[in-house]
Amino acid sequence: MLRRSLSRLVAFLLEPLAWPCSRSALVMMSHLLPPQLHCWQCHMDANSPQCAGEEKRVGTRTVVVGHRPVSEADAYVAQKFCDNRIVSSKYTVWNFLPKNLFEQFRRIANFYFLIIFLVQVIVDTPTSPVTSGLPLFFVITVTAIKQGYEDWLRHRADNEVNKSNVFIIENAKQVQKESEKIKVGDIVEVKADETFPCDLIFLASSSTDGTCYVTTASLDGESNFKTHYAVRDTTVLCTDEAIDSLTATIECEQPQPDLYKFVGRIIMHRSNQEPVARSLGPENLLLKGATLKNTKKIYGVAVYTGMETKMALNYQGKSQKRSAVEKSINAFLIVYLCILLSKATVCTTLKYVWQSNPFNDEPWYNEKTKKERETFKVLRMFTDFLSFMVLFNFIIPVSMYVTVEMQKFLGSFFISWDKEMYDEEMEEGALVNTSDLNEELGQVEFVFTDKTGTLTENSMEFIECCIDGHKYKGCISEVDGFSQTDGTLKYYGKAEKSREELFLRALCLCHTVRIKQADQVDGLIGHPECKNTYISSSPDEIALVKGAEKYGFTFLGLENDFMKIRNQKNETEMYQLLHTLNFDPVRRRMSVIVRTTTGKLLLFCKGADSSIFPRVQQEEIQQTKVHVDRNALDGYRTLCVAFKELTQKEYDRIDRQLNEAKMALQDREEKMAKVFEDTEADMHLIGATAVEDRLQEQSAETIEALHAAGMKVWVLTGDKMETAKSTCYACRLFQTSTELLELTARVVGESERKEDRLHELLMDYHKRLIQDVPKPRGSLKRSWTLSQEYGLIIDGSTLSLILNPSQDSSSSHYKNIFLQICLKCTAVLCCRMAPLQKAQIVRMVKNTKGSPITLSIGDGANDVSMILEAHVGIGIKGKEGRQAARNSDYAVPKFKHLRKLLLAHGHLYYVRIAHLVQYFFYKNLCFILPQFLYQFFCGFSQQPLYDAAYLTMYNICFTSLPILAYSLLEQHINIDTLTSDPQLYMKVSDNAMLQWRPFLYWTFLGAFEGLVFFFGVYFLFQNSSLEDNGKVFGNWTFGTIVFTVLVFTVTLKTGIFDLPILVSYKRIENGYVKTEDALTNLAERYPLRIL
């Protein structure tokens, strides 16, 4: 009772407020409020007729079109939605300083030096606070200037967008406003070649059919024109006066980042008539950032503005990836921090041992004050310890972080500037989305690649088709045709004429292709024999429509919901398009429902064989399956075509169910999927098509090079096994000598014993690859190649059994056995993979023992999950859109460019940054060790050896620029040699140059040279009177000479960096490259350096 009363009170308080649309607020309220208030934004109870079926609707918004209330009797309170300002910047003038400082001091090194600086200020230390404060100030200032400049560029870009002019329809007139002043509910007019200023619901256009063409290159990179449709009842409102008379409300979901999903409905109110409701989907939503093409103007109502647009939401929340080099730096920092603590502890201890002698503790010339005598000894020891920490703190290279960032940022331009990675056809080169992973490109062990559009061109060409088991290849005439029967039949024949025409009509009708005149559309694939241009977001569909045209059936376009085709007799046929059941990756098929001029209702469906075969008559499958399997072995992409005739009663039921599902605001996709499933059942198979997707140029050579470089290549694809296997042989992933191990539904079976059968296969493969094979000599991490090469093929259904075994089975160890088998195979093919399964495969390998570096490369939206999951994500700027390139770390035009990206750029970036990191630790140890040794000769009095200016400027000026230049420009091996000899990649693999052995080498080298610097000058000063006049050189002279020799030595060290790398080469290759040969090659390349 109390809860009910409280609910009513909250409802009473909320009802007149029409709260704003903050997503976080809505989510919080949905948990706090009772169910009947979850629909509060609609100002109606969830049990009312208007909300029927929406009992669970949470997080929706109501938009009043044109800010005109439905009824003048109702009080209209404007809802407070977010404005249309785009804010991509992080800082403002007021919060830049505190926010930037807070972010910078979150880094351990910066915070450490801040503490040291404060100690110097508070405690009486031997060095001035300037010595640590100035380098810290330099690092903080440089970083702040860089981040401030980048943020200023963001502010400037934001202002260009926010201050651009737009036209709003108010009181039947156009009013020019700035873009940032658009409000949710405003009716906006957009003209040709303009970008949409916010997310709009498409109401009307200059086209009579209520369509417009849009390019979304700035959102997902797709250059193909996409067709959008206005709301059916508002298409006639194509003038300012007409559109201003519209009285309607829009109910839609709260903002979410998926570009391809939208759920809503529009309710139009007319005087003295019942309100009319229409469903809204992604085809009605015009996204901010997209561009209007080939349409004079459109009208739309703003539903999402500013930071709630899908474009703004899509550029937020990308996960941060860390490279292995950063982890090595942190480990080395801990070692040097331990060295620092040890030095401070030793000096503090020896100081009090030294002062145990009263004469040393209080000499006659330096008596203690009363305050010093009364200070607690423990406090004095702690103060001395801090003083020694301050004196030796320069062993921690604070400026290394800035230098590493500059090296990564500036070095990334070499990838973008590489002319060999520029594609003239696409007129684009490589793109670097993040420079933090440059060195990771030189450490890749596993490459996961998509097939279609990555290994292949994704440029489809219709090859042949099959109708009732009869193969058609070439052109057919009206009278007769050429066909060949698949299967065991040995004679030539052809299908019935009616079946041929039915099949070709299906190809002409079952698609989403649109037609535009060639002289009005630029940059699209034109038909060579006519003036029309086919427009589609899928190259498969264009290939099939052109294939039907080869056989005499031509698609003429869609006009007023009627599809027109020209048949073999040159007659025009009209079909009313009633419904389109769009393609999605889960169903792997699409359908259309059309009505003929005679009133007959037909459903045509096309899709993958695995999706079509279970939904047709089983006796019709075999004759077509033979053809499909043969085409798959030839490497062609296959689609099956089916149909069924609907009665008027069946169509009425389907129409009602589809409309109900489309009107749902919650779980719309699930409801529509259920209707699709029920509709696409009990069909009749007509035939199949074969489309060729040619292999990309040099993809086979690239895979061979990656194999030779010690990388394993796995192909993850959604295609069927036979097609994918044929492609793998063509691109040399599988060799003729490769023995293939298969874990597919065909081998495992579909019976209840399939888990037992899977267990038997896994144990058999495990025994063959691991138990019966002797362990290789040596401990090379990449010694995975066996005397007999093995390849593994697995499909999605079997992978589900392995990764998600049933609860009652004893198969929890399937995953480990499967992983061991995969790691012993030279190549793995995963077919029939869902996008989520691709990411699961990558995650499984990434989390194995040793954490191997993984790389994923793909070109489509279905590859984004694995690209984000891998250590390094590569996007191909392909024909399936730019979702992959937009979400990747690096983007390249073609798969062949991966070879140079890894073998040349990756190798060089890793060597350069490894030298940079080791060099910084080395030079700082050289710098601070003489300071430590000097304490033994000054009674541990914390007397600095170097002048304060030298302490301050050592890392900032004297030693920073040479190593930065080296780390940007050094090529220890010619780029052509790196590209042509992939085995050079293995020399620096497994983080070889940042392992403990090279690190200790550099550490001992720094310690040795520090000893030489100090004691060399020390023995030189045995006779302190070095001038004829008897002038004695003192402490300043001694320290300056040590510092001068030190700076010259560590600077010249950058010129002989090739020598230490030979140590790691010999170590990791275990004799593969002999030191003598390497020295000879080095002398040939750099004769002056060896001398």
Residue numbers annotated as active site: 450
- The token pair at 383 is 């103060």
Please, what's the b/e burial string for 974-997 (b: 16 or more CB within 10 A of its CB; e: otherwise)?
ebeebbeebebbbbbbbbbbbeee
Backbone angles phi, psi at 641, to 5 degrees: -120, 130
Classify burial at 31, counting beta carbons within 10 Å of its beta carbon; exposed 0-12, middle 13-18, buried 19 or more. exposed
Give dist(CA 321, CA 434) in Å, integer.
10
DSSP label of 231: -
Q: Mapping DSSP to helix (H, G, I), strand (E, B) and coil, where does residue 446 land? A: strand
Give dist(CA 40, CA 17) in Å, integer.
10
**C-alpha pair distances (Å), 94 with each of 98, 99, 104, 158:** 9, 9, 17, 18
Give dist(CA 1007, CA 923) in Å, integer.
10
488 within 8 A of 727, measured Cβ to Cβ:
no
Give dist(CA 869, CA 889) in Å, integer.
11
- The token pair at 46 is 């969830």
**Would you state the torsion angle of the CA atoms of residues 1008, 1009, 1010, 1011, taken in this order, to the nearest 10 degrees?**
60
Backbone angles phi, psi at 813, to 5 degrees: -95, 5
Q: Mapping DSSP to helix (H, G, I), strand (E, B) and coil, where does residue 586 land? A: coil
843 within 8 A of 716, measured Cβ to Cβ:
no
Give dist(CA 1050, CA 1005) in Å, integer.
11
Strand partners for 447 = 713, 855
- C-beta pairs of 193-196 under 8 Å, 24+ apart in sequence: 193/291, 193/292, 193/293, 194/291, 194/292, 195/288, 195/289, 195/290, 195/291, 195/292, 196/286, 196/287, 196/288, 196/289, 196/290, 196/291, 196/292, 196/300
Rounded to 5°, the CA angle 1047-1048-1049 comes to 90
Of the candidates 498, 508, 490, 451, the residue with the CA atom closest to the CA atom of residue 878: 451
User: Parallel, antiparallel, or unpaired for β 60-64 and 248-253?
Assistant: antiparallel
Classify burial at 367, counting beta carbons within 10 Å of its beta carbon; exposed 0-12, middle 13-18, buried 19 or more. exposed
- The token pair at 1052 is 């010249």
Of the candidates 81, 67, 90, the residue with the CA atom closest to the CA atom of residue 23: 81
User: Parallel, antiparallel, or unpaired for β 222-229 and 211-216?
Assistant: antiparallel
**With helix as H, strand as E and coil as C, how does 451-498 read?**
CCCCCEEEEEEEEEEEECCEEECCCCCCCCCCEEECCCCCCCCCCCHH
Q: Mapping DSSP to helix (H, G, I), strand (E, B) and coil, where does residue 1017 land? A: helix
User: Parallel, antiparallel, or unpaired for β 739-743 and 712-716?
Assistant: unpaired
Q: Mapping DSSP to helix (H, G, I), strand (E, B) and coil, where does residue 607 land? A: strand
Give dist(CA 307, CA 191) in Å, integer.
23
Strands, sheet with 483-485, edge to edge from the N-terminal-most edge strand: 483-485, 470-472, 456-467, 684-695, 637-646, 601-607, 589-595, 572-581, 562-566, 554-559
What one-character-per-residue DSSP string does 291-331 give?
EEES-SEEEEEEEE-GGGSHHHHHTS-PPP---HHHHHHHH
- The token pair at 837 is 């399964």
Q: Among all chains, which residue has been given the structure tokens 């200790």?
A: 1000
